[in-house]
Amino acid sequence: MMKRTKEQLLVDRTRYLGPNVSTFYDDPVHVVRGEGVWLWDADGRKYLDCYNNVPHVGHCNPRVVEAICRQASTLNTHTRYLHDGILDYVEKLTGTMDASLDTAILTCTGSEANDIALRMAEGTTGKRGIIATDATYHGNTALVSQLSKSNPPSVGFGLGQFFRFVEAPDSYRNPDPDGAKFAQSVAEQIEAHEKSGIGFAALLICPYFLNEGFPDTPDGWLKPTAEVVRKAGGLLICDEVQSGFGRTGTHMWAHEKMGVVPDVMTLGKPMGNGHPIGGVVTRGEILQTFRSGYRYFNTFGGNPVSCAAAMAVLEEIEDKALVRHANTVGQHARKRLEALQAKYEVIGDIRGSGLVFGAEMVLDRDSKEPASEFTDRVINAMRQRGILHSKLGRHKNTLKIRPPMPFSVENADLLFDTLDEVLAETRLAP
């Protein structure tokens, strides 16, 4: 295999993969190895990974690697053969949820999972009107890409009429402490779907609004919204692709934190620690309706190797008490963020729970004007100092810190000590 320089890699990416295949950072990182919360580049430089939620239980986690190797060297087929692996996994997975969520379809990606969820809503309600927030991303199929405001589709396949949007919650600029305003805006879009003749099928949201910049939504915040959705006869679909598997530190699933039980929930990213597996979990009767109305088969979804990887992730979360760990480290991170906010005017707001936390950067605390360009320079300066994280939210001015779950208090201290130095050195104006 050819060993390319960084410059050759960039040229060959465009040559072989086409244009607009994005990279992180002005100076992209060429990673060659990972372990736990650490990554190494081709020159042997070590980076603290404060960004990647996919290697949930740590890069190259030995238990997951061993499970994949063991199963790959025994058997890998698909779900048309009988196999214990998928059944053991779905039993264990649904055992972490409300008793009503007791059946699942396994997929290879979060996009596929959301695609199925939307079709479950159509099958169950006989309607097609979907509602989502106006600052989110739920995946890349022709159907779910219609919901993306961050990566908008250039063609609509004539589906645009089925999607309506509500303003994403923004606790900093538009407080809604009990979720009543959000519920009201969902009710308005339900009415619009009904009036149009399309009818209301489902609300699809990330219960912790991660792509929206994880606004501070107190526990139980989604209760009024769930009531509105149920009253209208629609389904509540919670996309836990980012927020699930204990990320928020207080609960295994973010919908529990928000005080609701979804009709359908979708999973992906951390589920197999990087091995491609996603899923849709729902009540038996919804699954039955879907299975009767849509003949669904997924060649790779639910294969024995994927299930072994996913099972090892659940075992690792349990054995290492990673949800509690996320809570402890998250509380420490919050204190460090508060101290930085007291020191730097540019930090307008801090937020997060467990191992998803960040700070919103503003040019002026009174006007709350987003410091988007400044945030970009901070992220690039952090990368140069060996700390990898990113930014998100409507204005791309919120630091996005979402490390692998074994991230420790010491790791957090290194992150914030470095951020302190970078904020001291980075000028507000370019």
CA 85 to chain centre: 25
139 binds ligand PLP (CB under 6 A): yes
200 binds ligand PLP (CB under 6 A): no
Per-residue x/- track, 92-131, ligand PLP (CB under 6 A):
-----------------xxx--x-----------------
| Spatial separation of the C-alpha atoms in residues 72 and 69, rounded to whole Å | 5
Q: Residues 61, 211, 282, 375: which binds ligand PLP (CB under 6 A)?
A: 211
Per CB under 6 A, the segment of 18-26, 35-43, 238-246, 299-307 that binds ligand PLP is: 238-246
Q: Which is nearer to ligand PLP, 189 or 242 (CB)?
A: 242
* C-alpha angle 341-419-409 in degrees, rounded to nearest 5: 90
CB of 40: closest distance to ligand PLP in angstroms? 25
Q: Which of 267, 325, 329 has its CA nearest to residue 57?
A: 325
DSSP H helices, 200-303, are 223-231, 254-257, 284-293
Per-residue x/- track, 26-65, ligand PLP (CB under 6 A):
----------------------------------------
Q: Which is nearer to ligand PLP, 111 or 353 (CB)?
A: 111
| Spatial separation of the C-alpha atoms in residues 45 and 40, rounded to whole Å | 5
CB of 58: closest distance to ligand PLP in angstroms? 20
Report in angstroms the alpha-carbon separations of 18 from 1, 3, 4, 10: 21, 20, 18, 11
212 binds ligand PLP (CB under 6 A): no
Per-residue x/- track, 362-401, ligand PLP (CB under 6 A):
----------------------------------------
248 binds ligand PLP (CB under 6 A): no
CB of 163: closest distance to ligand PLP in angstroms? 15
CB of 206: closest distance to ligand PLP in angstroms? 5
Q: Which is nearer to ligand PLP, 129 or 278 (CB)?
A: 278
- The residue of the chain with the least Cβ separation from ligand PLP equals 110
Q: Which is nearer to ligand PLP, 128 or 138 (CB)?
A: 138
**63 contacts 316 by C-beta, under 8 angstroms:** yes
Q: How many CA atoms lie within 13 A of 196 on its CB side?
A: 18
What per-residue string of b and e applies to 351-372 under the rule 16 or more CB within 10 Å gives b?
Answer: bbbbbbbbbbbbbeeeebebbb
Per CB under 6 A, the segment of 44-52, 234-242, 340-348, 354-362 that binds ligand PLP is: 234-242
Question: Interaction with ligand PLP in 273-292: which residues (CB under 6 A)?
Answer: 278
Q: Which is nearer to ligand PLP, 120 or 363 (CB)?
A: 120
Dihedral over Cα of 114, 255, 337, 330: its sign? negative
Q: Which of 22, 18, 56, 93 has its CA nearest to residue 275?
A: 56
214 binds ligand PLP (CB under 6 A): no
245 binds ligand PLP (CB under 6 A): no
Query: H/E element holding 203?
Result: strand 200-205
Burial of 195 (0-12, 13-18, 19+ CB in 10 A): exposed
DSSP code of 272? G
Burial of 384 (0-12, 13-18, 19+ CB in 10 A): exposed
Residue 46 DSSP SS3 = strand
CB of 274: closest distance to ligand PLP in angstroms? 11
Size of the site for ligand PLP (CB under 6 A): 15
Edge-to-edge, what's the strand order for the sheet holding 387-388? 31-35, 38-41, 46-49, 387-388
Q: Which is nearer to ligand PLP, 111 or 327 (CB)?
A: 111
Q: Which is nearer to ligand PLP, 185 or 242 (CB)?
A: 242
CB of 242: closest distance to ligand PLP in angstroms? 5
- Which residue bears the tokens 């081709």? 42
Q: Which of 271, 247, 251, 249 has its CA nearest to residue 261?
A: 251
Q: Residues 129, 179, 268, 370: which binds ligand PLP (CB under 6 A)?
A: 268
Binding site for ligand PLP (CB under 6 A): 109-111, 114, 137-140, 206, 211, 239, 241-242, 268, 278
